[in-house]
Amino acid sequence: MSNLNRICLLLLLPQVLLLHLDLYLYQLYFESHVLIIEERESAKALNVEGMVAAMTEKDELMQHLAPVEILDEKDKSIASLIRQENRRNAFLFKSTLGWIRDTMVFLGQKSVASTYSQTAYAVTSQVNGRLLSGRI
């Protein structure tokens, strides 16, 4: 290899490395976006195993992306998309949790005639949020 070729290679190497790093980061962003959607679709299908697997993969990807402090201009569009999908997931999970809480409160407020008093009248008692009281 001639000296001129070596000099050209040394001059181009930082640019090639930056291009490789940019492609690697974009791939990580893209995979994060796919995993966020997969997490939501698994949650909607009540596929807990799929949701946990997507969450685990997403957490591993976030470990690789954690050192990135400054976002390049060209990555802002996919970062915005990831942010939007994360907000959609957060809204879905928050709504679902609220629905479950409301359902448990509703069920807990229902009165059930469960026993009789000493005078043979039915006595109503609260379920107190538990679906099963442990009594027969």
DSSP state at residue 113: E
pLDDT in tens, 55-103: 999 999 888 888 878 877 888 888 888 899 999 999 999 998 899 888 8
pLDDT in tens, 34-63: 999 999 999 989 899 999 999 999 999 888
The overall pTM is greater than 0.85? no
- Is 99:123 a contact under the CB 8 Å cutoff? no
What torsion do the CA atoms of 111, 115, 121, 125 make, to the nearest 10 degrees? -30
Tokens of 43: 């949650």
Domain ranges of the chain: 3-126
